[in-house]
């Protein structure tokens, strides 16, 4: 399977990439790590006239500490996110989730920004980004804007990134000391989750002070399970309390039906996986 012919540009700065985007509009496609885009091109589901490869823009890679937040460059490969000590310390649920994304080879090439911009509702990065209240830094020719995670995911494969814009950074408020777990249910190895749950919880002694829950593949975008979060806040960190709260996991969801499972099955999974994820996050 060979993609259709396209022109190729590998700019060395964001400005250069933006200029090319403005010139070519929706005929151009941004290439990050390519682990989702190349299959799309090979299957000829998309046939851009120009591919703009961000791989040579060094400033888009790396993780840095900015006081109350960590900032991850959009082109930082998953493998680097996985081993970065700042991510492990301050964004533990992302650290947990990325280890379960696809396989080693894909994590070497695929990037955090690419995965988030691709916005596959079955992708593993959306739920932790939502749970951590990530902010998305998006560059356009008229400047840079920041979009909150809850406004970033618009629909199936659709985000707040405009046609002439590029996602440059993911800014994550520090969740230092929060317990975290990503519970992923798959039928076979290295696949997209049928359903997965990202849970991160702040304990105050034996009480759940606050919890953030992200759901993967329970709708056309990753979702926050706010009813579960509300039900957990202030509760004792016990299995009974978590079980009761997890029963709210499907509120506001609209799970798809496909060959891996119908909507009812996914709804069942969401409750079970939420309970497991929260219990693991609080070490129970």
**What's the CA gap between 24 and 93, in Å, rounded?**
38
Judged by CB under 8 A, the stretch of 98-106, 193-201, 255-263, 273-281 that binds another protein is: 98-106
Under the criterion CB under 8 A, does residue 103 sit at the interface with another protein?
A: yes
CA distances from 194 to 15, 145, 263 (A): 39, 33, 10
Shortest approach of another protein to residue 118 CB, angstroms?
Answer: 14
- Sign of the four-CA dihedral 124, 128, 133, 138: negative
Interface with another protein (CB under 8 A), residue from 61, 109, 268, 276: 109
Q: How far is the CB of 280 from another protein (least distance, A)?
A: 18
CB of 83 to another protein, least distance (A): 9
Q: Which of 16, 22, 34, 207 binds another protein (CB under 8 A)?
A: 34
Cα–Cα distance, 269 to 261 (Å, whole number): 10
Q: How many positions of this chain bind another protein (CB under 8 A)?
A: 29
Residue 153, CB half-sphere, CA atoms under 13 Å: how many?
31
40 binds another protein (CB under 8 A): no
Q: Which of 38, 88, 160, 227 binds another protein (CB under 8 A)?
A: 38
Using CB under 8 A as the binding rule, whether residue 27 contacts another protein is answered as no
User: Does residue 12 belong to the site contacting another protein (CB under 8 A)?
Assistant: no
- Contact flag: residue 44 with another protein (CB under 8 A): no
Q: By CB under 8 A, is residue 39 in contact with another protein?
A: yes
Does position 62 interact with another protein (CB under 8 A)? The reply is no
**Binding status of residue 190 toward another protein by CB under 8 A:** yes
CB of 222 to another protein, least distance (A): 22
Residue 138 binds another protein (CB under 8 A):
no
Q: Which helix H or strand E contains 118, and what residues bound it?
A: helix 112-118
Residue 51, interface with another protein (CB under 8 A)?
yes
Work out which of 16, 40, 55, 267 binds another protein, going by CB under 8 A.
55
Locate the DSSP E strands across 54-206: 63-65, 69-73, 135-140, 143-148, 153-155, 158-159, 165-173, 179-185, 195-204
Instruction: Report the alpha-carbon distance of residue 226 to residue 210 in Å, rounded.
Output: 11
CA distance 106 to 35: 6
Rounded to a whole number of angstroms, the minimum distance from the CB of residue 6 to another protein is 6
Cβ at position 45, least distance to another protein in Å: 12
Contact footprint for another protein (CB under 8 A): 1-8, 10, 31, 34-35, 38-39, 41-42, 51, 53, 55, 79, 102-106, 108-109, 189-190
């Amino acid at each position: 399977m060979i993609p259709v012919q396209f022109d190729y540009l590998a700019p060395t700065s964001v400005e250069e990439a933006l200029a090319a985007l403005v010139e070519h509009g929706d005929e151009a496609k941004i290439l990050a790590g390519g682990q989702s885009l190349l299959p799309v091109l090979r299957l000829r589901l998309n046939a851009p006239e120009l591919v703009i490869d961000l791989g040579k823009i060094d400033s888009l890679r790396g993780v840095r500490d900015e006081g109350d937040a960590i900032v991850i460059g959009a082109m930082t490969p998953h493998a680097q996110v996985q081993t970065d000590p700042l991510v492990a310390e301050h964004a533990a649920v992302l650290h947990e989730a990325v280890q379960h994304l696809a396989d080693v080879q894909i994590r070497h090439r695929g990037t955090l920004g690419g995965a988030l911009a691709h916005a596959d509702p079955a992708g593993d990065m959306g739920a932790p980004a939502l749970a951590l209240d990530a902010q998305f830094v998006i560059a356009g020719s008229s400047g840079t804007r920041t979009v909150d995670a809850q406004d970033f995911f618009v629909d199936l494969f659709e985000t707040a990134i405009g046609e002439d814009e590029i996602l440059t950074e993911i800014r994550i408020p520090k969740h230092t000391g929060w317990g975290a777990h990503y519970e992923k249910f798959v039928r076979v190895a290295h696949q997209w989750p049928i359903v997965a749950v990202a849970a991160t919880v702040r304990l105050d002694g034996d009480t759940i002070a606050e919890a953030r829950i992200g759901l993967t593949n329970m709708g056309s975008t990753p979702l926050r399970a706010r009813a579960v979060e509300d039900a957990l806040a202030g509760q004792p960190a016990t299995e009974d309390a978590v079980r009761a709260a997890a029963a709210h996991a499907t509120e506001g969801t609209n799970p798809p039906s496909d060959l891996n499972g119908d909507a009812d099955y996914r709804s069942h999974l969401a409750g079970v996986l939420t309970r497991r994820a929260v219990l693991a996050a609080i070490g129970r």
